[in-house]
Amino acid sequence: MRSDLEDAARAIEVASSVVRTAARKLANSGDLDDHQTIAYDMAHAASAVEVGRAMLDYATHGDEEASLACAFIADALADLSSRTFGREEEWGVDEGWYLPCKNFVVRYREPSFLASLAAIEGQRHLDEEFELVRATFRRFAEERVRPYADRIHRENLDVPEEIIAGLAELGGFGLSIPEQYGGFATGTAGDFLGMVVATEELSWGSLGAGGSLITRPEILARALINGGTEEQKMTWLPRLADGSIMAAVAVTEPDFGSDVANLTTQAVAYGDGWLINGVKTWCTFAARANVLMLLARTNPDKSLAHRGLSLFVVEKPVAHGTGFSFTQRPLEEGQPVSSGKMEGRAIDTIGYRGMHSYEISFDGWWVPAEALVGGERGLGKGFYYQMQGFENGRLQTAARALGVMQAAYEAAFSYATQRVVFAKPIYQYELTKVKLGRMAVLIQAIRQFAYKVATLMASGAGSLEASMVKAYACRAAEWVTREAMQIHGGMGYAEEFPVSRYFVDARVLSIFEGADETLALKVIARRLLDEASV
């Protein structure tokens, strides 16, 4: 197996060289937006290379791990060759660039080999401490989340308060909040890794009613830790950690989506505070939330773009269901003379139910001065504060994708061993086994890369890799859940089997926390071009 791993390492270097060549060519080709197709493919290929590097490290643990690593790397090379085929000139590579790796790819894409991996998930190789974290959150997901998950999805219900209360008791909301503010974070690599492990298991229970519950508090907490005043940290972080307040994120706007620099929602100084006017959309969990992390324009000069944005913690009453409307009355001198209004309507979605996403309009909604994150020094820095929250949110979204994929794989494996077609279980057919084998390979590869990114982020690095793991994991989740549903045949299309929920839930992953195209073009590709230009 050692020689095979050497071949795998060479294959990764060949793929890496192709990516670097494409980056250099694009860097000298003018406006990146004129070459979006190649840039997008290059970004995903670069992400696959980094996943492959993580798998090379994983492969050192044993033969099973090495088999999974070789299968992933061979598949990544085959995918890259399909992206460059017929576009060699645009990539700046020769035809047949892959030939030195061809024998390796043939060997590890052999259907019989992939079929042999169908039941080999591979060990995670976590330390005992994190195996305990995994077992604890898996038990909670199985006993407290899964019993509600299908009903929440089918009836479009709110997440039950008992799930929220149970997760608070478990300490799930305080995983990334420092100990001095009531959380469990110790400032070590374990903080990020623990979050990844817990999020995967909760998402295995349910994406909407499990894993995503700890994402929004996580994003706000990171923004406060990096940009908040000490008084703001003391006010909000302990309450986020113990679950006594829930948070939602109000950044996206109807006309701009991921184009944050052009946001129009305004916060205008008024008395001892700010008046907020504008519309936000895709504010997940906004009704139930006690506070909104809101990004608004505090400097009307549009030429400042993202440098004119500031971040606010906006308090609001708790609501339930699919809509809310609040009227704010002036309480003391210095507040608005007229009443402020906040109205929200739920946006119906095909999946990711339980939390509801809302469009919220603000009409003269007043917030006190202390709602501005960072106080006076936070003016114009809101974009940077929220991005620090979103970087971790992207890693967490990859963990959510892992949980959904793992649930889909387990469901497909179980069904395949029980469903008999043409006198034998469908698990015994090669095509079914190959699908399951590829699922197992993808899931473990992305999991190991997520662990690596967690370690990088703990050291203050890993922002690019966080975007890579998010982009790669979310696309993979669509394929895994689709094939899991296909293995179920007609019953996969029936709501009585959870696999249909996994499929529609997975579809949202490439859209939120940074749309796939935005991450690929505006973050990953641009960083690769910057590095190529040095």
Q: For position 330, what pLDDT does the model report?
A: 67
pLDDT number for residue 267: 94
| 513 a catalytic residue | yes
Cα-based angle 482, 390, 381 (whole degrees, multiple of 5): 155
**pTM of the complete model:** 0.93
What is the C-alpha to C-alpha distance for residues 297 and 304, in angstroms, rounded to an integer?
A: 10
Structure tokens at 470: 């998010």
Q: Pairing relation of β-strands 273-284 and 357-368?
A: antiparallel
Residue pointed to by tokens 């090495």: 66
Tens of pLDDT, residue by residue over 179-207, are: 999 998 887 778 899 999 999 999 999 99
Residue 451: strand, helix, or coil = helix
CATH number (3.30.420.40, 3.40.50.720, 3.40.50.300, 1.20.140.10) of 2-109 reads: 1.20.140.10
Q: What is the pLDDT of residue 305?
A: 78
Residue 68 and residue 73: Cα distance in Å, rounded? 9
Which residue, 527, 228, 509, is CA-closest to 370? 228
The CATH number of the domain covering residues in 247-376: 2.40.110.10
Q: Please give the pLDDT value at position 274.
A: 94
**Quick check: 303 and 380 in contact, CB under 8 A?**
no
In the chain, residues under CATH classification 1.20.140.10 are 2-109
Question: What pLDDT sits at residue 354?
Answer: 86
pLDDT of residue 438: 98
Which among 65, 391, 483, 513 is annotated as catalytic?
A: 513
How does pLDDT run across 432-471, given as a tens digit for each residue?
Answer: 999 999 999 999 999 999 999 999 998 888 999 999 999 9
Rounded mean pLDDT for each run of 10 residues along the chain, 534 residues in total:
88 97 92 93 98 97 97 97 96 95 96 97 94 96 95 92 93 90 84 93 94 85 92 96 93 74 87 93 92 93 84 95 86 63 92 89 94 94 84 89 98 95 93 98 98 92 93 97 97 92 95 88 94 80
Residues 54 and 12: beta-carbon distance below 8 Å? no
User: What is the rounded (10 degree) CA torsion for 429, 406, 467, 225?
Assistant: 180
Bridge pairing between strands 247-250 and 291-297:
parallel
Distance CA 153, CA 172 (A): 22
pLDDT of residue 336: 58
Which residue, chain included where needed, has tokens 């050192």? 60
- Here the tokens at position 446 are 């992305």
Across 260-295, b (16+ Cβ under 10 Å) vs e yields: beebebbbeebbebbbbbbbbbbbbbbbbbebbbbb
Considering all CA atoms of the chain, what is the largest pairwise distance in Å, rounded to the nearest integer? Answer: 80
pLDDT reported for residue 190:
84
Where exactly does CATH 2.40.110.10 map onto the chain? 247-376
